[in-house]
Amino acid sequence: MTEKKDVPPIVNLSYPKGELVIKEGDYGSSIYKILSGRVRVFKGSQRNKTTLAILERGEIFGEMAFFDFGLTPRSASVEAIDGLETEVWHPARLSKEYANMPPMLRYIAKQTLKRLVRMNKIVQELAPDKEKEERVNTESYKRKYFRKKWNQEIIYGPVGSSCNLRLCGIIKDVSLNGVGIEVPYENTKKCKHTLNGELITEIQLCSEKTINTISIIRSIRRSEKLGCLFLGLEFKDASRDLLKQISRFMMF
């Protein structure tokens, strides 16, 4: 009778959708049986989850803590996918049955769980790091659209012109995506400056080498300088050489 009093009773616990039942890294020894609902077993943070399993009615989780007596942290988190009803067991209820198992069966159970832990770690290592991908994509976007102030002459003209018209402007800023240039109103009398129009541009960066490329007019507005327009140009066919020179230029 004394032994039965020492064993904690089985309890039923409920969890709403999205609530954590077990948190990775915490300590605990309770074992859960799902009476209704589903759970997601995952590693990582809430933002960067690697799902290891989806468990449903009749399945159990938290059992690994039983085999190490709750001495090591929980190896994964468990959250309720739907409204969850569980039956919670204390390891003491299983200790006697486990002790009475043949040594070979106990050995097999331990080895199986160890193998499962190793596989879970491999799955996590192979899964894409979403936080890292987002960070890389954000940095890539910043590098592409960051504009550096500049003050450099640019020569440009209309695409397909038979008279080889060459007009002058001033590059005011530069990015890997294009340049912002300031041009006098007088240029508009010699060449159409329209949205999405294409221009042949000649750009000279850090070296004496001039690079030719086609640029598209993406924006037109009045410049802060009296008598000038400000054009936002996007490179249409920027060569690898041009992008390399711009990247080097923007580092300084």
3-state secondary structure 56-124: CCCCEECCHHHHCCCCCCCCCEEEECCCEEEEEECCHHHHHHHHCCCHHHHHHHHHHHHHHHHHHHHHH
Residue 3 pLDDT > 50, yes or no?
no
Q: How many CB atoms lie within 10 A of CB 13?
A: 13
pLDDT average, residue stretch 2-10: 63
Has residue 134 got a pLDDT over 60?
A: no
State residue 45's pLDDT score: 75
CATH assignment, 142-250: 2.40.10.220
Whether 2-127 shares its CATH topology with 142-250 is answered no
The answer as to CATH 2.60.120.10 being correct for domain 2-127 is yes
Sequence-distant (6+) residues with CB within 8 A of 111 are none
- Which DSSP category does 176 fall into? S
Window from 14-23, 44-53, 169-178, 221-230 with minimum mean pLDDT: 44-53
At residue 1 the predicted structure's pLDDT band, cuts being 50, 70 and 90, is: very low
Asked whether 99 and 64 are in contact (CB, 8 A), the reply is no
Mean per-residue pLDDT, 50-68: 85
Amino acid 129: pLDDT: 58
pLDDT category of residue 25 using cuts at 50, 70 and 90: confident
Domain boundaries, the chain: 2-127, 142-250
Q: Which of 10-24, 108-122, 206-220 has the highest mean pLDDT?
A: 10-24
pTM over 0.75: no
CA angle 6–8–13, rounded 5-degree value: 175
Rounded to the nearest integer, the mean pLDDT of the chain is 81
Structure confidence at residue 185 (pLDDT): 93
Contact 206, 249 (CB under 8 A): yes
Per-residue pLDDT tens digits for 146-185: 678 888 899 999 887 666 788 999 999 888 888 999 999 9
Interval 29-55 mean pLDDT: 87
Assign 76 a pLDDT band (cuts: 50, 70, 90). Answer: confident
Contacts of 157 (CB under 8 A, 6+ apart): 164, 165, 166, 167, 191, 199, 200
Query: What is d(CA 217, CA 167) in angstroms, rounded to the nearest whole number?
Result: 15
CA pair distance 232, 219, nearest whole angstrom: 5
Q: How confident is the model at residue 71 (pLDDT cuts 50, 70, 90)?
A: low
- The pLDDT of residue 47: 73
pLDDT (tens digit per residue) in 191-233: 889 999 999 998 876 656 777 889 999 999 999 889 999 999 9
